[in-house]
């Protein structure tokens, strides 16, 4: 069993008053592909390096299978890492790069060639085995780095933003290959990225970190549909969720010219410290344009339309003023901006300068308590 467990694992760097990873409790199942995601400085790469043995642990422990590896040297942990930088030997061929670790371990040449060719077949690298890295594209080099890890047949794969150096098209192709290959191999994998689109499309589960603290662990579907707090809501999703702090008057929430009816369950979850306010969120696809203003509609002044072929996104501001926009104030990578985003059909789109009315679709309104940022109970 290659189950990985972080048990209250903490890392505090000398001179830093706050832990970079703070009491992390996380279990990665045998053969699971878990994506660790968060903004810059959230502690995700530090957590990966703790598992690799490249960072000391100040408190807690880390287990791989039944073994406590907290103080075990990296070379004895039976892991393989893939980095953002390919770190290939330029004077070696693809075959030699992929088989180098096995050669150092003393494996015979025939067995090395068998493993290398098996991995090269899975990675579509067979035609390139005798080439050197300078004759490869960026995507091919990253696949060579993947192959070098695969041939070792480790208990755990660790991947630290391996697609960051690739262009947009190659990123999409390579992330699909990585996800497919991991499922075929069944190796427990921790994949670190700041790109939440990668997290949503690749992982069996996602773990979100902020300031070294674990915010939520869930499947991509669950995290997208039921973010546990305002930070996760504003971080997961592209484009980001629209969020704003509304003032309550009974069951009606007001922000500028927007007036939304809120469920009783939201009101029941609020306390005195919330001071009669509630954070409401709705994703771009949760809004629909309607012809007339009414209670429950949001007037939007159109700034511009982003055409994507099959879809279009309307970007605008709350007509009449008010801080309602995409992202989250608590998210440094997606600072809240007063720009509402609506996904709309690509034909017959409104023009910049128009004022349109939007309504939140039934059951797609998210509520969070301003005092804690935590999710409010959904309607029963």
Considering 201, 227, 253, which residue would you say is the last residue of a domain? 227
Looking at the structure, tell me whether residues 205 and 274 fall in a common domain.
no
Q: How far is CA 362 from CA 130, 168, 286, 288, in A?
A: 59, 35, 8, 10
Kindly tell me the burial class for residue 119, based on how many C-beta atoms sit within 10 Å of its own C-beta (0-12, 13-18, 19 or more).
buried
82-113 pLDDT per residue, tens:
887 778 999 999 999 999 989 998 999 999 99
Collect all residues with Cβ–Cβ distance below 8 Å to 337 and sequence separation of at least 6: 325, 326, 327
The tens digit of pLDDT for each residue in 152-192 reads 889 999 999 888 877 777 788 888 888 888 888 899 999 99
Q: Does 260 lie in the same domain as 192?
A: no
Q: Are residues 212 and 260 in the same domain?
A: no
Pairing of strands 188-193, 156-160: parallel
Among residues 171, 198, 227, the one where a domain terminates is 227
Q: Are 355 and 302 in contact (CB under 8 A)?
A: yes
Residues 130 and 100 in one domain: yes
Strands (E), 49-111: 59-64, 67-68, 79-82
Residue 379 within a domain = no
Q: What are phi and psi of 117, to 5 degrees?
A: -70, -35
Find, among 80, 1, 4, 12, the residue nearest to 36 by Cα: 4
The CA–CA distances, whole Å, from 206 to 156, 188, 196, 209, 223 equal 17, 14, 9, 10, 8
Q: Mean pLDDT score of the chain, rounded to an integer?
A: 91
Q: Say which CATH number the domain at 343 has.
A: 2.40.50.140
180, 200, 227 — which closes off a domain?
A: 227
- Number of structural domains the chain divides into: 2
Rounded to a whole number of angstroms, the CA Rg of the chain reads 24
Q: 333-372 pLDDT, tens per residue?
A: 444 457 899 999 988 899 999 999 999 999 999 999 999 9
Are the beta carbons of 368 and 230 closer than 8 angstroms? yes
Q: How confident is the model at residue 328 (pLDDT cuts 50, 70, 90)?
A: low
Q: Is position 199 within any domain?
A: yes
Q: What is the average pLDDT across 141-158? A: 90
**What's the pLDDT score for residue 309?**
86
Across the range 111-124, mean pLDDT stands at 91
Asked, for residue 376, whether it belongs to a domain, the answer is no
The answer on 170 and 79 residing in a single domain is yes
Task: Give the structural domain span for 133.
Answer: 4-227
Report yes or no on whether pTM surpasses 0.75.
yes
Residues 196 and 238 grouped into a single domain: no
User: Of all helices (H) and strands (E), which one includes residue 259?
Assistant: strand 258-261
DSSP state letters, 203-221: -SEEEEEETTEEEEEE-HH
260 and 217 fall within a common domain: no
Give 24-70 pLDDT, tens digit per residue.
999 999 999 999 999 999 999 999 999 999 999 999 999 999 899 99
> Is omega for the bond preceding 220 within 30 degrees of 0, making it cis?
no
User: Do residue 165 and residue 85 come from a single domain?
Assistant: yes
User: Using an 8 Å Cβ cutoff, are 42 and 209 in contact?
Assistant: yes
Distance, in Å, from the CA atom of 339 to the CA atom of 318, rounded to the nearest integer, reads 8
Judge if 179 and 48 occupy the same domain.
yes
């Amino acid at each position: 069993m290659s189950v990985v467990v972080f048990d209250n694992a903490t890392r505090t760097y000398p001179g830093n008053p706050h832990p970079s990873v703070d009491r992390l409790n996380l279990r990665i199942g045998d053969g699971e592909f878990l994506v660790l995601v968060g903004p810059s400085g959230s502690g995700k790469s530090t957590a990966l390096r703790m598992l690799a043995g490249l960072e000391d642990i100040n408190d807690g422990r880390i287990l791989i299978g039944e073994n406590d590896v907290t103080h075990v040297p990296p070379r004895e942990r039976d892991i393989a890492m893939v980095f953002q930088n390919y770190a290939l030997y330029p004077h070696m061929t693809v075959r030699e790069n992929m088989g180098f670790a096995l050669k150092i371990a003393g494996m015979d040449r025939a067995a090395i060639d068998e493993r290398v060719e098996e991995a090269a077949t899975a990675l579509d690298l067979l035609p390139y085995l005798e080439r050197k890295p300078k004759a490869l594209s960026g995507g091919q080099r990253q696949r060579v780095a993947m192959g070098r890890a695969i041939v070792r047949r480790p208990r755990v794969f660790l991947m630290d933003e391996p697609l960051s150096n690739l262009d947009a098209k190659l990123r999409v192709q390579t992330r699909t290959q990585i996800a497919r290959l991991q499922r075929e191999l069944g190796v427990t994998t921790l994949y670190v990225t700041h790109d939440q689109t990668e997290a949503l499309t690749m992982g069996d589960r996602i773990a979100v970190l902020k300031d070294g603290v674990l915010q939520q662990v869930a499947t991509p579907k669950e995290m997208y549909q039921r973010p546990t707090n305002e930070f996760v809501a504003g971080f997961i999703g592209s484009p980001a969720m629209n969020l704003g702090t509304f003032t309550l008057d009974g069951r009606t929430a007001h922000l500028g010219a927007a007036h939304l009816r809120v469920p009783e369950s939201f009101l029941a979850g609020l306390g005195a410290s919330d001071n009669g306010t509630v954070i409401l969120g709705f994703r771009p696809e949760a809004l629909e344009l309607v012809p007339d203003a009414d209670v429950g509609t949001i007037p939007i002044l159109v700034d511009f339309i982003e055409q994507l072929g099959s879809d279009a996104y309307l970007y605008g501001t709350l007509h009449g003023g008010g801080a309602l926009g995409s992202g989250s104030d608590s998210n440094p990578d997606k600072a809240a901006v007063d720009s509402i985003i609506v996904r709309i059909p690509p034909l017959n789109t409104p023009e910049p300068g128009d004022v349109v009315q939007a309504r939140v679709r039934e059951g797609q309104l998210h509520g969070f308590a301003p005092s804690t940022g935590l999710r409010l109970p959904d309607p029963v």
